[in-house]
Amino acid sequence: MIKPVGSDVLKPLFVYDADRHHALMHEAESLPQVLLSSQAAANAVMMGGGYFSPLPGFMNLADALSVAETMRMTNGQFFPVPVLCLLEDVSAIEGAKRIALRDPNVEGHPVLAIMDVEMIEEVSDAQMATMTEKVYRTLDAEHPGVATFNGQGRFAVSGPIEVLSFSYFQADFPDTFRTAVEIRNEIAERGWKRVVAFQTRNPMHLAHEELCHMAMDRLDCDGLVIHMLLGKLKPGDIPAPVRDAAIRKMVELYFAPNSAMVTGYGFDMLYAGPREAVLHAYFRQNMGATHFIIGRDHAGVGDYYGAFDAQTIFDEEVPAGVLDIEIFKADHTAYSKKLNRVVMMCEAPDHTKEDFVLLSGTKVREMLGSGIAPPPEFSRPEVAQILMDYYKSSQ
């Protein structure tokens, strides 16, 4: 199986030993407490599950700035985005050596992790701007990722952590949420050697489904891991439980047995385009995938990124040799009326736009909201029904 990034073994930060877990939960009651931002909590969940291995905890400011500039920490370790614990107020933890990190996304704010505090640093506006510009390629406050990143506070608290909870993800998505450790184990149990991963924050229409089949065939893969984001999205996106149901129905009906796993991970979308694509590849290698599909405007939002920036970054900016996972570069896929099948648009040079079945996201949402199923060349009818039921119930 493919090795994790930068290590021979995966290094999850979740405390699996029951006695140690119990002792830390007891200790947390007497420690200074801080309430994390949702983004910092998601970072802790990802470290807990081994996705961000071999990171030992939250980065200090020097490492975060170095990662933003070069995708390497000050010790040379590769990581594509800063992983920070940013707080607005640190008065409750001044001088503390160990602190309890509380979960903002669960009622009662239970303890999510314990940190050994190494540094508490104030981040200047110039430093925030540098990280924002490098990671998001814009300073526009209308960009949802920029707004979230800059709205967390200006104090960076860094140090190794021990994770005690997977937040709401395990409870709310027991059939779907999986750690990198669990996915690696299941890949091994299934006997898969070549595994392609597909990232999604949306329901999968026919073009997505066929793109996965296409990648599996061309890469000669044993299996596909459909890996959906279960954390916070932007307003208007389809909720995770609805996406989950739609994707499971598609796999049940249109994929061969033991050819596809439906899983999810606990993280808040960054909408950081190319940099987030690299992060996605990073943690897919950690979960055991040998290949990863990246299409047009991967992890993008609005018009902030070029259509293929998330692909070219791997050739132009990612340091050589840091990732073993291979990128399957995909163009936009759509149903060809001429060929009566889904194709990559770049592979149909004799086609015009009118030769494809193309529907905008806005048009699809309007149809579903009106109880009208998109054409079968766009969406499987069983998937469309689940989405129509959702829109009907939410009106």
As annotated, the active-site residues are: 201-202
CA–CA dist 237, 229 (Å, integer): 12
Tokens matching residue 304: 């902030």
Distance, CA of 297 to CA of 295 (rounded, Å): 6
370 burial type by CB count under 10 A (0-12 exposed, 13-18 middle, 19+ buried): exposed
Which CA distances in Å does 170 have to 18, 49, 230, 265, 358? 17, 11, 10, 10, 37
Distances (CA, A) of 1 to 4, 189, 221, 347: 9, 12, 13, 32
- Burial class of 194 by CB neighbour count within 10 A (0 to 12, 13 to 18, 19+): middle
Q: If you compute the radius of gyration of the chain from its CA atoms, what whole number of angstroms results?
A: 21
SS3 category, 204? coil
- Residue 135 has a CB neighbour count (10 Å cut-off) of 24
How far apart (Å, rounded) are the C-alpha atoms in residues 86 and 89? 9
Is omega for the bond preceding 54 within 30 degrees of 0, making it cis?
Answer: yes
Contact 111, 101 (CB under 8 A): yes
Burial of 104 (C-beta count, 10 Å sphere; 0-12/13-18/19+): middle
Per DSSP, 363 falls in state H
Partner residues linked to 177 by β-bridges: 264
